[in-house]
Amino acid sequence: MAGAVRRFAIERPVIFWSFVIGSIGPAMVWTVPSIRRNYFGFKGYPELPITYP
């Protein structure tokens, strides 16, 4: 399996790296918000006003 992945990375690097970056995206949906809250002190966005001032 590793040999096939290595060969595919050498022969078609664009498709290989597109797959790697695309598969990381769904994992980032779960990890990035907690990292922002815990390490960077992100409190959330203020609510948008619903009525005209």
Give the pTM: 0.56
Per residue in 2-44, pLDDT (tens digit) is: 898 899 889 999 999 999 999 999 999 999 999 999 999 999 8
The tally of CA atoms less than 13 A away on the side-chain side of residue 17 is: 5
Please list the alpha-helical segments (H only) found in the chain: 2-11, 13-40
32's CB contacts (< 8 A; 6+ apart) are none
In this prediction, residue 26 carries a pLDDT of 93
Other residues' Cβ atoms within 10 Å of the Cβ of residue 36: 13
Query: In degrees, to the nearest 5, what angle opens at C-alpha 41 toward C-alphas 35 and 42?
Result: 80
